[in-house]
Structure 1
């Protein structure tokens, strides 16, 4: 079975941190590619014991500007 997840990647000091929006699982790596690879592994381990809920519900991501 395959599921689609939404991933946000942010640079934090010397690491790239990849987070899954749907379940808040995160991993890191020295490169973007490494952080995604590590997140994929973490998600595969997570879903060994937990079946995905609502995997067909779309997630919408946007940006917005806030006046300060």
Structure 2
């Protein structure tokens, strides 16, 4: 069983978006701080009554988030 839940974070047109890689959770926020708070709430609601074995996830998993950066400025 996996010990982590993975998310991909990217900037959409208006909002930052977090999409679950190994679970069906998607949320958004105007700022990264708002996105993280929304992600915690969405995960809590999703995992509340869910059978984690259905997603091959252990109890109390860690969260790993990959952030996509666009338009890098080179020095």
Q: With structure 1 as the length reference, what TM-score do the two structures score?
A: 0.67
Cα distance between partner residues in 2 of 1:55 and 1:9: 20
Query: What value does the CA root-mean-square deviation take over the aligned residues?
Result: 1.9
Alpha carbons 1:15, 1:30 under 8 Å: kept:
yes
Q: How many residues align?
A: 55
Gap runs ≥5 in structure 1: 62-68
Structure 1 position 18, deviation (Å): 0.7
Moved over 2 A (4+): none
Q: With structure 2 as the length reference, what TM-score do the two structures score?
A: 0.62
Cα distance between partner residues in 2 of 1:11 and 1:46: 23
- Tell me the equivalent position of 1:40: 40
Q: Determine which structure has greater relative contact order: mean sequence separation of CA pairs < 8 Å that are 6+ residues apart, divided by chain length.
A: 2
Greater strand percent: which structure? 2
Cα distance between partner residues in 2 of 1:30 and 1:14: 7
SS at match of 1:5: strand
- Tell me the equivalent position of 1:30: 30
Gap runs ≥5 in structure 2: 59-65, 67-75
